[in-house]
Structure 1
Amino acid sequence: MNRRSMKILILTSSPNDNGLTSACAEAARQGVIDGRSPARLVDLNDLSISRCAVHNDGWGTCKSKHHCQLQDDFQSLQETIEQAEGYVFITPVYFGEPSEPMKAMIDRLRRCEATKDEGAGEKSILADKPMVLIAAAGGTGHGTLSCLEMMERFALRLKAKVFDTIPVTKNTRDYQLETIHDALAAMTAAPPIPELSPAKRKERRPTHRRRRRS
């Protein structure tokens, strides 16, 4: 039986290429691959995403058009997020919170997507899509739970389906990296697509009638 793959976007946000957050991202990527789905990894530190400028009376085009009027890399990232079918948000823990690049992205995306009117048929681009949230505290190991709580509030506000929240510290690194891998492999293991029986395949096969010669 065939399985339908799920396009997964992994967002990471640590300036350290060889630290705990990076290891978490690689574990997530490998888990997605082992779940037979494609993974795209985007490091927010490689993008230019400023913090929310709170335009006009506090709401700019984020409320009226659901797009941010502050022009930078956020617009293209919003499109990338919309195209994905599942997500992994990974952040180092600073002062018990997500990193500044992650917070800037979350704040702006929330303003654009949380203001959509479901009654008018509008829908958050994260709605009903699975998400794994990961907080990596490589220093003291403190603050993972408060960090994950902030990220979970964001995810639920935008109607995402939180598949798992995973805290990681330097003491729990080895077994939590396995947890991350297994969580993503499980999340992306979509139900099998049933194969059509020969009779059903025959029903779907187009029929071609011969033209009569005049």
Structure 2
Amino acid sequence: MKIAVLWSSPNTDGLTAAAKDQFLSGLQKTDAKIEEIHLNKLQIEHCEACGRGWGSCAVTGNFWKKDDFSNVYEKLVQADGIVLVSAVYWHDITECMKAFLDRLRRCETAHNHFLSGKRCILIACAGGTGLGAIECLHNMEETLKHMGMRAYDRIPVIRYNKEYMLPALVAAGEMYAERIVSGFDMQY
């Protein structure tokens, strides 16, 4: 079983990295083969909405620019499960995650459908007041719905709850891997 953990934050020692690490430690208790993908370390170009918004990615299912997008996309296609972990900026995902998901949505929704039915975990990490975490999770899920992917859990980690949420992420990672193997399904 393969699980891709896609995360985005410029801080490799902040709250988002800690949440990702806790979830990974739960996954590591299982037989999962884990692919950790740190979007901030990659070159992912923004969608240019070419062809009046319906450019080559929507027609052919791939993007014409040569960057790291196709490599990450293939890793998600090969994964049995996908975990998205993002810092929260302005009540939304990071710009790196947004650029990747915008392009992914164009390829998936209009042409490929390779990720349809994939079972996902969404984690949003907010400093400050934490008010944007829930809205960020909602936005992430709406993006996944366009591609036919399904969120199995939506986990907000904020300054207030990090003392109990970070340890809970270990159990969440372990349970997610077990549920992927058992075929657990939630229809909605």
TM-score normalised by structure 2 residue count: 0.91
**Paired positions, count:** 181
Picking from 163, 173, 182, the partner of 1:191 is 182
- Unpaired runs of 5+ residues, structure 1, are 1-5, 117-122, 193-214
Aligned partner of 1:66 in structure 2 is: 61
Aligned partner of 2:118 in structure 1 is: 129
Aligned partner of 1:146 in structure 2 is: 135
Paired AA for residue 166 in structure 2: L
Secondary structure of the residue that 1:34 maps to in structure 2?
coil
TM-score normalised by structure 1 residue count: 0.80
Aligned partner of 2:21 in structure 1 is: 26
Further displaced range: 55-64 or 149-158? 55-64
Please report how far the alpha carbon of residue 25 of structure 1 lies from its aligned counterpart in structure 2 after TM superposition: 0.8
Identity of aligned residues (%): 36
- Unpaired runs of 5+ residues, structure 2, are 184-188
Structure with greater helix percent: 2
Question: C-alpha root-mean-square deviation of aligned residues, in Å?
Answer: 1.4
Query: Where in structure 2 are the equivalents of 1:65-144 lying within 5 Å?
Result: 65-116=60-111, 124-144=113-133
Residue deviations 1:64-95 (CA, integer Å, cap 9, x gap): 11111222111111111111110110000000
Please report how far the alpha carbon of residue 138 of structure 1 lies from its aligned counterpart in structure 2 after TM superposition: 1.8
Q: Decide which structure has the larger Cα Rg and report it.
A: 1
Paired AA for residue 163 in structure 1: Y
Please report how far the alpha carbon of residue 144 of structure 1 lies from its aligned counterpart in structure 2 after TM superposition: 0.5
